[in-house]
């Protein structure tokens, strides 16, 4: 059986043109998908022998698992809910409700990827556009600190570089592509210009470009040791100020290196300054398939996009205090629920160690370091393969996930809903 127009929820590109072939109880083909998407469909579309719920590694019924997990979370004084970037908005909405009832903290993968972009938005605003605007209009494409060839393999072909658009009828020929990074990545092959910056020097270059866009002439000394020559700098500024419609795709090379939200604020301010001359936009290269969704759900339910604390009965936001790495590194949380993420293998050592120390409940579609460390682990079905739902593309476009096959596992939404009911009962509210 072939299902068309299927949505790939693996990365922030959220390509929705996949044709999936289901043979028996497994997915055998994912036409149009990139190498990452194909792997996502094929691995999640394969029957699993994991138990639906485990306590201390021993299989138990779903009911028993829910009961124990609800008790574990309800008994905690400062529970943490984390992850949520690879599940549907429907599940995310339940997770926020649960965090509120628990009076705990909820944070998502944003705090370790594009949190600094969110903070730049709070500080200076954000000139942006949807990916279709890039396809239809952009003649200058800049990838800064991102490596789409490996992280978002269809980004260039589907949205930014090769497609023909309304005002870019020649497609690739009508665009100039610039890659700016600290090393020559495989994405450089697709770029017309590669500019290699020295590690930790993005801010200096961004600030000098902003000065040029504002009609000022920065000193040559200001970009000394950045890896760029003055000619390269002014050449880039010139290109930016004389294109028709430019866009900077902001990668984690800016958000998670020295400077963090200073880097993102600098790039946002640069794009703002460029709008004195030409139309210019920026789009953060969001990684996981629905990390943009959790920002949105948190924002509409609480007002804040990540790192939200409910200890006082209402939402509070303070990056550095309620964000996962900081909170765990200080040894603060005394129980955690991790949904659709593997923080034990991805967070810095101190934070990961704390997570492994405390009672941990996990929901995931497959086994990971985190599920193996969890006291109670639930195996769930995959949104976009076994369940419908909503995800937000990196440019905030909401897309409906199709279901292509059945699963014997419950969805994240279902398990979270039952946990919410269980916790409410225990807390008598």
Partner 1 sequence: MLKIVNGAVYDPANNIDGEVRDVCIDDGKVVDSVEGGRTIDASGMIVMPGGVDMHAHIAGPKVNTARKMRPEDHRLDPVPRTSLTRSGVGKSVPSTFATGYRYAAMGYTTAFDAAVPPIAARHAHEEFSDIPVVDKGFFVLMGNNEYIMQQIAAGERGRMRDYVAWLLQATKGYAIKMVNPGGVEMWKSLGNTHTLDEEVVGFGVTPRGIIRSLAEAGMELHLPHPVHIHCNELGVAGNWETTLETMKTLDGVRGHLAHVQFHSYGGDPGGMFVSRVPELAEYVNTHPNLTVDVGQILFGDTTSMTGDGPLAHMLHQVTGRKWVNVDVENECGCGIVPIEYKDKSHMHTTQWAVGLEWYLMVNDPWRIALSTDHPNGASFVSYPQVIRLLMDREFRREAIKKVNPKAVAKTALPDLDREYSLFEIAIITRAAPARILGLKHKGHLGIGADADVTIYDKCDDAEKMFSVPRYVIKEGEVLVEDGSIRRETFGKTLYVAPVYDTAVEKDIREYFRKYYTIEFENYPVQLEHYLPRPREVATTGDS
Interface ranges with partner 1 (CB under 8 A) = 4-5, 7, 16-17, 89, 93, 97, 100, 118, 121-133, 135-137, 158-159, 164-167, 244-245, 272, 275, 278-279, 281, 295-296, 299-305, 310, 312-317, 388, 390, 392, 396-400, 429
Which residue, 348 or 398, has its beta carbon nearer to partner 1? 398
Q: Name the minimum Å distance from CB 153 to partner 1.
A: 16
Which segments within 215-359 are labelled E, that is strand? 245-250, 279-284, 308-309, 316-317, 335-339
Q: Name the minimum Å distance from CB 199 to partner 1.
A: 29
Name the nearest CA neighbour of 187 among 179, 195, 175.
Answer: 179
As a whole number of angstroms, the distance between CA 204 and CA 258 comes to: 12
As a whole number of angstroms, the distance between CA 109 and CA 115 comes to: 8
Q: Name the minimum Å distance from CB 366 to partner 1.
A: 26
Q: Name the minimum Å distance from CB 225 to partner 1.
A: 31
Which residue, 221 or 428, has its beta carbon nearer to partner 1? 428
**Whether 227 contacts 197, CB under 8 Å:** yes
Q: Which two tokens stand for residue 124?
A: 């200076």
**Tally of CA atoms within 13 A in the half-sphere of 238 that contains its CB:** 6
Alpha-carbon separation of residue 279 from 120, 134, 160, 283, 408 (angstroms): 20, 11, 16, 14, 50
Q: Name the minimum Å distance from CB 300 to partner 1.
A: 5
For 74, list phi and psi in degrees, rounded to 5. Answer: -65, -30
Q: How far apart are the first and last CA of the chain?
A: 47
Which residue, 122 or 176, has its beta carbon nearer to partner 1? 122
Which residue, 8 or 76, has its beta carbon nearer to partner 1? 8
As a whole number of angstroms, the distance between CA 7 and CA 13 comes to: 10
Q: Which residue in the block uniquely carries the two structure tokens 């020649």?
A: 170
As a whole number of angstroms, the distance between CA 309 and CA 289 comes to: 24
Which residue, 60 or 124, has its beta carbon nearer to partner 1? 124
Which residue, 103 or 200, has its beta carbon nearer to partner 1? 103
Q: Name the minimum Å distance from CB 17 to partner 1.
A: 6
Pairing of strands 245-250, 398-401: unpaired
Helix (H), strand (E) at residue 295: helix 291-302
Which residue, 281 or 415, has its beta carbon nearer to partner 1? 281
Alpha-carbon separation of residue 233 from 79, 175, 223 (angstroms): 48, 20, 9
Sheet of strand 245-250, all strands in order from the earlier edge strand to the far edge? 193-196, 176-181, 140-144, 245-250, 279-284
Which residue, 267 or 281, has its beta carbon nearer to partner 1? 281
Q: Name the minimum Å distance from CB 15 to partner 1.
A: 9
Which residue, 57 or 303, has its beta carbon nearer to partner 1? 303
Burial 291-304 (b: 16+ CB within 10 A, else e): bbbbbbbbeebbeb
Which residue, 172 or 372, has its beta carbon nearer to partner 1? 172
Q: Name the minimum Å distance from CB 126 to partner 1.
A: 5
Q: Name the minimum Å distance from CB 258 to partner 1.
A: 24
Q: Name the minimum Å distance from CB 310 to partner 1.
A: 7
As a whole number of angstroms, the distance between CA 281 and CA 8 comes to: 25
Q: What is the DSSP letter of 193?
A: E
């Amino acid at each position: 059986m072939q299902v068309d127009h299927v949505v790939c929820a693996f990365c922030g590109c959220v390509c929705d043109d996949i044709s999936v072939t289901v043979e028996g109880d497994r997915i055998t083909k994912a036409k149009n998908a990139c190498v990452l998407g194909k792997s996502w469909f094929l691995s999640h579309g394969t029957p699993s022998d994991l138990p639906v719920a485990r306590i201390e590694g021993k299989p138990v019924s779903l009911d028993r698992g829910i009961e124990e997990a609800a008790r574990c979370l309800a008994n905690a004084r400062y529970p943490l809910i984390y992850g949520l970037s690879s599940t549907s908005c429907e599940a995310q909405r339940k997770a926020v409700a649960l965090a509120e009832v628990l009076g705990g903290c909820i944070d998502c993968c944003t705090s370790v990827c594009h949190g600094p972009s969110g903070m730049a938005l709070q500080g200076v605003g954000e000139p942006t556009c949807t990916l279709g605007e890039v396809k239809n209009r952009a003649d200058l494409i800049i990838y800064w600190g991102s490596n789409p060839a490996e992280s978002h393999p269809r980004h260039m072909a589907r949205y930014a570089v090769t497609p023909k658009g309304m005002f870019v009828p020649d497609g690739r020929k009508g665009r100039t592509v610039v890659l700016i990074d600290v090393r020559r990545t495989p994405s450089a092959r697709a770029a017309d210009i590669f500019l290699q910056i020295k590690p930790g020097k993005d801010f200096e270059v961004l600030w000098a470009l902003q000065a040029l866009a504002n009609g000022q002439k920065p000193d040559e000394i200001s970009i000394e040791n950045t890896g760029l020559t003055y000619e390269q700098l002014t050449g880039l500024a010139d290109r930016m100020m004389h294109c028709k419609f430019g866009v900077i795709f902001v990668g984690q090379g800016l958000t998670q290196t020295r400077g963090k939200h200073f880097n993102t604020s600098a790039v946002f301010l640069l794009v703002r300054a460029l709008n004195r001359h030409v139309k210019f936009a920026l789009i953060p290269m969001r990684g996981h398939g629905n990390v943009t969704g959790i920002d949105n759900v948190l924002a509409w339910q609480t007002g804040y996009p990540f790192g939200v604390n409910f200890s006082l009965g209402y939402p509070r936001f303070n990056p550095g205090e309620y964000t996962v790495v900081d909170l765990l590194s200080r040894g603060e949380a005394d129980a955690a629920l991790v949904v659709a993420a593997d923080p034990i293998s991805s967070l810095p050592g101190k934070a990961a160690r704390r997570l492994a120390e405390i009672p941990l409940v996990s929901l995931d579609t497959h086994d990971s370091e985190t599920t193996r460390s969890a006291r109670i682990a639930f195996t769930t079905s995959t949104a976009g393969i076994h369940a419908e739902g909503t995800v937000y593309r990196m440019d905030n476009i909401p897309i409906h996930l199709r279901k292509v096959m059945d699963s014997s596992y419950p969805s994240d939404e279902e398990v979270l809903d039952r946990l919410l009911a269980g916790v409410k009962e225990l807390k008598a509210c």
